[in-house]
């Protein structure tokens, strides 16, 4: 029943985008959907398997630079972004296999920060905070097909949570020792989940980069992006449908904040995170 509702919701979303008459709003909604996919992927691999991953923007960064460096061709750019996203996911997955808990959170937090330092230091290659322009690709993109691809990726993520693979990923967060004792190589499953999530993030990042026309360090900054991911996935951890929907909504909220009160943006975001987790921790503490 819930699966049907979700498919219905995605179908309605696609119809709304296709028939939306205002171009600016159409672009905004598709970018919001792209960020929703990033959050759904984040939830699928990290939150679902019980890991506090603060480095998802590293995957976005690796994929985004891949899209930018291969921007001579739309196809190469899309494929490059997806493959590099999968590679970024693999690196996070390796960390998830080797370390746990706070150490994992710290190690992953360092990764996007290192990438930002690299992008600023090697300015001639990455163009630092100014970014690499990919405007040329934007005219080649069909916004309706972009929405269709992103919605298909969101649907795929949701479908995977219903499979045995998704169930095993979830079981790791509950009791990894029991999962192992059930004959499961949890390391392989974790790596698989991170690669899939990385590839999905790569697809979404490609559209975020192409539709915004630029790839810069702004896309790798853990604040606000990781904060939004934590917010969106915190409401119903492990439920990619919720994460996708809230993630997409937060992207629109962020655009509104950037336009209306940019100086208060980070304050509001921090407040949102603190309040959300205070409420959630109370709820989980009382078993509600």
Partner 1 sequence: MDSVYKKFGGVIALDNVSYSLNRKEIAGIIGPNGSGKTTLLNVISGLVKPDKGKVLFKGEDITKLPPNVIARRGIARTFQQPKVFQKFSVFENMLIATNDRSKIYDSLKRVGLDNQIFRNAGSLTILDVRRLEIARCLALEPEIILLDEPFAGLTTQEAVLLSDLITSLYKDLGASFVIVEHRLKYLFKLAQRVTVMHAGRVIAEGPPSDVISDKKVREVYLGV
Cis peptide before 224 (omega within 30 of 0): yes
Burial of 3-23, coded b for 16+ CB within 10 Å and e otherwise, reads eeebeeebeebbeebeebeee
> 């979830």: which residue's tokens?
170
CB of 238 to partner 1, least distance (A): 10
Q: What is the rounded distance in angstroms from the CA atom of residue 133 to the CA atom of residue 161?
A: 36
Distances in whole angstroms, Cα of residue 216 to Cα of each of 63, 129, 208, 237, 269: 12, 5, 11, 30, 21
In terms of CB distance, is 43 or 254 closer to partner 1? 43
Q: What is the rounded distance in angstroms from the CA atom of residue 206 to the CA atom of residue 212?
A: 10
In terms of CB distance, is 145 or 182 closer to partner 1? 182
Q: What is the rounded distance in angstroms from the CA atom of residue 10 to the CA atom of residue 63?
A: 25
* Binding stretches for partner 1 (CB under 8 A): 164, 167-168, 170-171, 174-175, 177-186
CB of 161 to partner 1, least distance (A): 12
In terms of CB distance, is 138 or 173 closer to partner 1? 173
Which residues fall within 8 angstroms of residue 107, CB to CB, at 6 or more apart? 55, 95, 99
In terms of CB distance, is 136 or 167 closer to partner 1? 167
Which residues fall within 8 angstroms of residue 155, CB to CB, at 6 or more apart? 6, 7, 10
In terms of CB distance, is 187 or 214 closer to partner 1? 187
Report the 10 Å Cβ neighbour count for 270.
13
CB of 44 to partner 1, least distance (A): 17
In terms of CB distance, is 183 or 288 closer to partner 1? 183
In terms of CB distance, is 75 or 177 closer to partner 1? 177
Q: What is the dihedral of CA 227, 104, 44, 200, to 10 degrees?
A: 80
CB of 105 to partner 1, least distance (A): 24
Q: What is the rounded distance in angstroms from the CA atom of residue 263 to the CA atom of residue 1?
A: 43
CB of 190 to partner 1, least distance (A): 13
CB of 1 to partner 1, least distance (A): 14
Q: What is the rounded distance in angstroms from the CA atom of residue 112 to the CA atom of residue 88?
A: 11
CB of 186 to partner 1, least distance (A): 7
């Amino acid at each position: 029943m819930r699966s049907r509702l979700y498919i219905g919701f995605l179908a309605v979303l696609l119809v709304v985008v296709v028939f939306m008459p205002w171009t600016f709003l159409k672009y905004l909604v598709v970018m919001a959907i792209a960020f929703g996919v990033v959050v759904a992927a984040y939830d699928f691999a990290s939150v679902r398997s019980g890991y506090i991953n603060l480095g998802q923007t590293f995957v976005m960064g690796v994929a985004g630079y891949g899209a930018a460096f291969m921007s001579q061709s739309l196809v190469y750019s899309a494929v490059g972004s997806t493959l590099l996203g999968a590679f970024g996911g693999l690196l996070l997955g390796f960390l998830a296999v080797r370390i746990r808990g706070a150490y994992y959170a710290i190690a992953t937090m360092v990764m996007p920060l290192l990438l930002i330092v690299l992008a600023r230091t090697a300015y001639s290659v990455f163009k630092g905070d100014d970014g690499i322009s990919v405007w040329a690709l934007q005219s080649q993109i069909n916004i309706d097909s972009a929405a269709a691809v992103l919605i298909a990726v969101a649907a795929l993520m949701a479908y995977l949570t219903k499979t045995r693979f998704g169930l095993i990923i979830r079981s790791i967060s509950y009791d990894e020792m029991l999962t192992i004792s059930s004959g499961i190589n949890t390391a392989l499953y974790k790596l698989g989940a991170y690669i899939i999530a990385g590839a999905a993030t790569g697809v979404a990042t490609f559209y975020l980069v192409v539709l915004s026309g630029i790839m810069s360090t702004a896309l790798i900054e853990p604040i606000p992006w990781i904060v939004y991911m934590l917010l969106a996935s915190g409401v119903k951890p492990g439920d990619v449908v919720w994460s996708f929907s809230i993630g997409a909504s937060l992207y629109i909220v962020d655009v509104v904040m950037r336009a209306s009160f940019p100086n208060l943006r980070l304050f509001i975001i921090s407040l949102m995170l603190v309040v959300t987790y205070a409420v959630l921790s109370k709820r989980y503490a009382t078993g509600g």
